[in-house]
Chains A and B, each alone.
Chain A
Amino acid sequence: MKSISKRGKKKKMALQLTSLLDMFTIILVFLMVSFQAEDMDFVMHPGIALPVSTVKNPFKTGVNMAITSGKVLIEGKQVYQLSKGGKVKESDFEAGKIDSVVQAVEAAWKLHKREKDEEDIVVIQADQTLPYKTLHLLMRSAAHAGVFRFRLVVEKE
């Protein structure tokens, strides 16, 4: 930027960038700390409050199952409606599985295996208030689809 000084000479005016640079440096350091190099094929469901845990295991991808207080989603698609308080229908509980969940997990796992060559794992993100009865029935349903291993998603302490 150029301006004319009092004496009529053209004088170059430098823009003061030091403070801006300081701010950028702080932001850069903060972002580098929170940088996640791993590519996580995981979308956090907005209606879920995850429980807090001290575990520090690395994230591993698999078939995504999200359990909110009102519905069950496999790979983002709703497959089952839960009643108030995250409860399952008594008929499903007596049957020991939820057919729609079995089919959805089976289809998703086959797709994962074909496209990504992943291990048979179901990644469960469940609301912290969910009763164990529901969680266990959904895990059993996944087991009916041939997947016995699970990863419970938690928020790091």
Chain B
Amino acid sequence: MNSGGKIFSRFQAAREVADVNLIPVMNLFVTLIPFLLLAAAFYHVSVIPTSLPSQTDGVSDTASDDVSVTVNLLVEKEKIRLTASSATLDEETLSELTLEIFKKKDGFDYDLLTSALVEIKRRYSKSDTVIVLPADDIPYKDIVQILDTSRERRTKVKNKEKSEPLFPVVVLSKKV
């Protein structure tokens, strides 16, 4: 055998020694993968908590010195009407908060709705309830979009998404 052959055989021997037995690792993986496959969630679901208006006996737990408003969103096919109600504010102050958003070709201007809600939240920070009153023919998908808009404001700061709570307490009702 020449010198080149010797070097090759030495190298070959070193390689054989360096081989790691991967069978136990493979066994572990084969066990873990079916378990994780069973527990994996490929469909990510979440929930929006909501309620129907109900009448309860007893005194309200809201302190009288906390000025808060309840936002009412009357959702119709062609417009969204935003009004506010409060036990402590007068009619004139509440009427200043009224807003009507008309549907355009590409749908409602949700940014305008968000900015109006942000302004109400800024003025009356204790407020957290929105009563949504959709019309009969409004599809569920549109209601969810309105709930998303009224629940929080999402902004991007330095490529990081930030959410600011607006009106997280949702009551679904109906105009009578």
Contact = CB atoms under 8 A, between A and B. Distances in A.
Contacts of A60: 47
Nearest to A20: B26
Give the interface SS of chain A, mostly helix, strand, loop or mixed. mixed
Given A31-B36, A129-B139, A44 B45 contact: yes
Interface in A4-44: 14, 17-18, 20-21, 24-25, 27-28, 31-32, 34-37, 42, 44
5 contacts: A14-B16, A20-B26, A148-B51, A154-B46, A154-B48
Task: State which size class the interface on A falls in.
Answer: 35 or more
Contacts of A154: 45-48, 144
A56 interface: yes
Interface of A: 14, 17-18, 20-21, 24-25, 27-28, 31-32, 34-37, 42, 44, 50-60, 123, 126-133, 135-136, 139-140, 143, 148-156
Nearest to B143: A132
Nearest to B40: A34
Contact of A156 (B22, B29, B37, B45): B45
B31 to A, nearest CB: 11
A36 B47 contact: no
Interface string B123-137: 000000000001111
Contact of A152 (B29, B50, B137, B145): B50
B75 to A, nearest CB: 8
Interface stretch (B60-68, B85-93, B94-102, B146-154): B146-154
Interface residues of B, number: 45
A17 B22 contact: yes
A14 B172 CA distance: 66
Interface of B: 16, 19, 22-23, 25-26, 29-30, 32-33, 36-37, 39-52, 54, 134-141, 143-145, 147-148, 151-152, 154, 172, 174
B43 A44 contact: yes
Contacts of A128: 139-141, 144
Contact of B45 (A18, A37, A59, A129): A59
